[in-house]
Amino acid sequence: MTARLMQGDEACAEGAIAAGCRFFAGYPITPATDIAEVLARRLPQVGGKFIQMEDEIASMAAIIGASVGGAKAMTATSGPGFSLMQENIGYACMAEI
């Protein structure tokens, strides 16, 4: 294995792909935009799907749906974006998704 120097957001995206993530739905917002940019480029190369959503609420709903369908899914957001996701996070926890 060769060592490679990269920024934290790129390492997060590459780590997700290495762990089997094949679906990303997100809304571009600092500081998470770089993760989305890397995954927009890399997911199609490994047979995955990238969707840019209209807001953080929709991105959380999309990854819940992808998870129900059997995909390893993720999103990335900011602190305020995470606050907007709380209702869907609660639903996913209650439904044990």
Q: How far apart are CA 63 and CA 80, in angstroms?
A: 18
Distances (CA, A) of 47 to 17, 27, 44, 67, 69: 10, 21, 5, 16, 16
Q: Whole-angstrom Cα distance, residue 27 to residue 57?
A: 9
With pLDDT > 70 as the criterion, what percentage of the chain qualifies?
100
Residue 2: pLDDT band with limits 50, 70, 90: confident
Domain ranges of the chain: 8-94
Q: Using pLDDT thresholds of 50, 70 and 90, give the confidence band for residue 11.
A: very high
The superfamily in CATH containing domain 8-94 is Thiamin diphosphate (ThDP)-binding fold, Pyr/PP domains (3.40.50.970)
